[in-house]
């Protein structure tokens, strides 16, 4: 499965881009960059703390829970998510690639160590307990490449899968927007669940319009 912001929207998580993500007159595109963090790490961390406080009030919805159950039923299941909110893990998913990172993880700018951090609010500015260097959110920012390990894992999963379900993603952000084509070329059946048609809709086998929380749990029903 490949999931995007649409599945988390059903839990009330804002997209943090556009009007929903405006914070103190800053846009996400202005703050989620290496240059912004280098220029004013306190400002960036204040924004991420605001995001963390919002996400901390949200819970996995029925779609998240159904995906976790599908993982338990299938030994070959793999989840690729563009979401950084951690709701898939909260729902019980364990076999997954969080290709844009996780807002509940921090990475040291010195020793590069990654660790979980659920502090709300988080101490600003946070420092590494190992080397004392400044911590940053473990997020792939604009202008950064996805983690090579995740890309390799995704490529292998897409090329060997029999079925790919694309849920709640706009189909315009690459490289994830190209994942359906990779799976199709490898011979997989590809389905899509989204509120509206996407640029990928014409390329795949089945496109269903509706909310993830309503449609994904139907996959658990016996045929």
- Residue 64 bears catalytic tag: no
Distance CA 3, CA 82 (A): 6
Q: Are 138 and 102 in contact (CB under 8 A)?
A: yes
Name the catalytic one among 64, 88, 100, 138.
Answer: 100
Listed in order, strand segments (DSSP E) in 168-205 are 189-194
Q: Are 193 and 210 in contact (CB under 8 A)?
A: yes
Kindly provide the b/e burial profile for residues 76-104, where b requires at least 16 CB atoms within 10 angstroms of the residue's own CB.
Answer: ebbbbbbbbbbbbbbbebeebbbbbbbbb
Element (H, E) at 5: helix 5-9
Distance CA 186, CA 203 (A): 14
Structure tokens at 189: 């059946």
Q: Which residues are catalytic?
A: 100
């Amino acid at each position: 499965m490949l999931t995007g912001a649409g599945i988390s929207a059903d839990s009330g998580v804002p997209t943090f881009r556009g009007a929903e993500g405006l914070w103190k007159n800053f846009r996400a595109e202005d703050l989620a960059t290496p240059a912004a963090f280098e220029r004013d790490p306190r400002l960036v961390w204040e924004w991420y703390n605001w995001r963390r406080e919002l996400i901390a009030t949200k819970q996995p919805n029925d779609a998240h829970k159904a995906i976790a159950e599908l993982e338990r039923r299938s030994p070959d299941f793999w989840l690729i998510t563009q979401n950084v909110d951690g709701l898939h893990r909260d729902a019980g998913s364990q076999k997954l690639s969080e290709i844009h990172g996780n807002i509940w993880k921090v990475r040291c700018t010195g020793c590069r160590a990654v660790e979980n951090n659920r502090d709300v609010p988080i101490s600003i500015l946070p420092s590494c307990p190992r080397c004392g260097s400044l911590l940053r959110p473990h997020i792939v920012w604009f202008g950064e490449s996805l983690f090579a390990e995740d890309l390799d894992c995704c490529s292998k999963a897409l090329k060997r899968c029999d079925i790919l379900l694309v849920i709640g993603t706009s189909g315009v952000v690459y490289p994830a927007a190209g994942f359906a084509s990779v799976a199709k070329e490898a011979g997989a059946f590809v389905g899509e669940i989204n509120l509206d048609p996407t640029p990928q809709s014409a390329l795949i086998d089945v496109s269903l319009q509706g909310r993830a929380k309503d449609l994904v749990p139907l996959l658990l029903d016996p045929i």
